Amino acid sequence: MKIGNLDLGHLPLFLAPMEDVTYKSFRYLCKKFGADVMSTEFVSADAIGKEMEATKRKMTIFDFDRPIAIQIYGSNIEAMVWAAKVAQEANPNYIDINFGCPMKKIAGKGCGAGLLKDLPKLVKMAGEIVKAVDLPVTAKTRLGWDFTDMPIIDLAERLQDVGIQSLTIHGRTRSQLFTGEADWALIGKVKANTRMKIPIVGNGDISSPEKAKAFADQSGVDGLMIGRGAIGRPWIFRDIRHYFNTGELLLPPFVPEVVESVKEQLIQSISWKPEPRGAILEMRRHFARYFPGLEDFREYRIQLLQATELEQVLAILDAIAVTYASVRVDYTNISLK
C-alpha cells in the first residue's frame, strides 16, 4: 500500500487518531509492539489558528513515530486550509482530514462527521487542502449520517477525484456512534468499486487477530486501522501481525508483563508532560483497560483512579503484579464500548 510515494508495505496496521489517547507515550508503546503507521491526536483548526500551546504539543513528532499523520478537523474551509499549512510545518509524512468523528461536541458544530450533512462542502474542503499543501492528504470518514443516508461509495469517488490519496472508512454511520456492528461488507463494496484507485483502509470493531483477518478477507481493504481495540492493549498490533504471518495466536501476557508496559507508558508521559500529575490523570482512562476481567480487581481500580503521585501509582502497580503474578490477562470478552 502506498500513500503518495510513501510505501507502507502489505496490509499495514494503522493506529487511529484518538483525542486524549494517541499522545506520545501511547504511540510509543503501539510502535514498540508493531503498529506500522502512527497518528497524532486529532487537532482543531480553530485551536491551530489561535496558536494554542496544547495544540502545538499535539503536533510534536518524534523519531520513533514515523511514518505518522497529523489529523485536523474543523468546519471552516479557510481555517482548515490554514491548519493544514501549519501542520505541514511540523513535518508529518502526510496530513489526514477528520470527516468521521461522531461526538456531539465536534459533529454538532459541523466538524468531523457533521460534514456528512453537507457533502459539497466536505468535498470542496478536501480539494482546497490538497491544493494548499505539498504533502499527501488523506481522509477518514464514516458510511454516512444514518441508515437512510449512506453515500460512502459516491463520496469515496468524489474524494479521490479532488486528490485525496487514501481513504479510511469506519464502518458505522454518525448516528450509530460506536453502537451496533461495523459494516465491513459496505467497506468492501467501496474497495471493490472499479473506479477506486486509491487505497482503502478499514476501521471498526477490530478487537482480536481473528477479527482483523476476517474483516480484511471479507473487505479486501489495503490496510487496517485500530482504535479502541488498542487502548490498554498496545500489543494487539504484534498479535495481529503474528497471526497473519503464522496462523497462530500468541498467548496473552501475564499481569506482571502488563504492569511493566503500564509503567513504561506512565514514565514516558511524565517525561513529556510539564506537570507529572497531568500525566497521571491522563493515564486514568488506560488503567482499567489494561487489566480486564481480573477477579477482585475493583479495589485496585479505585486506588489507581484516586492516586495523584507517581510513587503511589507505582506502588499500586507493584502490588497488582504480585497479587496476579501467575495470571494472564483475558481479552476473550473485552468490550470496545
Q: Give pLDDT tens digits for 177-187.
A: 899 999 999 99
Mean pLDDT of 209-222: 97
Domain boundaries, the chain: 7-246, 255-323
pLDDT bin (cut points 50, 70, 90) of residue 69 is: very high
Give the residue with greater pLDDT, 334 vs 306: 306
**pLDDT surpassing 60 at residue 337:** no
3-state SS class at 44: strand
Q: Are the CB atoms for 97 and 128 separated by under 8 Å?
A: no
Give the residue with greater pLDDT, 44 vs 51: 44
Residue from 273, 303, 275 nearest 287 by CA = 303
3-state SS class at 51: coil
Mean pLDDT of 109-121: 95
185 membership: H or E segment, kind and range: helix 184-192
**pLDDT surpassing 80 at residue 277:** no
**Dihedral angle of Cα 253, 170, 93, 3, to the nearest 10 degrees:** 110
The pLDDT of residue 12 is: 98
Q: What is the mean pLDDT of the chain?
A: 92
pLDDT bin (cut points 50, 70, 90) of residue 51 is: low
**pLDDT surpassing 80 at residue 84:** yes
Out of 11, 72, 101, 159, which one is annotated catalytic? 101
The pLDDT of residue 299 is: 94
pLDDT digits (tens, 9 = 90+) for 219-260: 999 999 999 999 999 999 999 999 999 999 999 999 999 999
pLDDT bin (cut points 50, 70, 90) of residue 331 is: confident
Q: Give the integer Cα–Cα distance in Å for 156 and 57.
A: 32
The pLDDT of residue 17 is: 94
Class of domain 7-246: alpha beta
Please indicate whether residue 101 is annotated as part of the active site. Answer: yes
The pLDDT of residue 245 is: 96
The pLDDT of residue 211 is: 96
Mean pLDDT of 43-57: 79
The pLDDT of residue 287 is: 83
| Grid cell 469506519 in the structure block, residue | 170
45 membership: H or E segment, kind and range: helix 45-49
Q: Give the integer Cα–Cα distance in Å for 202 and 234.
A: 18
Q: Are the CB atoms for 189 and 153 separated by under 8 Å?
A: yes
Span of 36-45, 84-93, 191-200, 272-281 with lowest mean pLDDT: 272-281
**pLDDT surpassing 70 at residue 336:** no
Q: Are the CB atoms for 202 and 142 separated by under 8 Å?
A: no
**pLDDT surpassing 60 at residue 104:** yes
Non-local CB neighbours of 276 within 8 Å, separated by 6+ positions: 270, 309, 310
Buried/exposed 223-242: b ≥16 CB within 10 Å, e otherwise: bbbbbbbbbbbbbbbbbbbb
pLDDT digits (tens, 9 = 90+) for 119-160: 999 999 999 999 999 999 999 999 999 988 889 999 999 999
The pLDDT of residue 149 is: 87
As a whole-number percent, the residues of the chain with pLDDT over 90 amount to 77
The pLDDT of residue 54 is: 75
Q: Which amino acid is at 220?
A: G
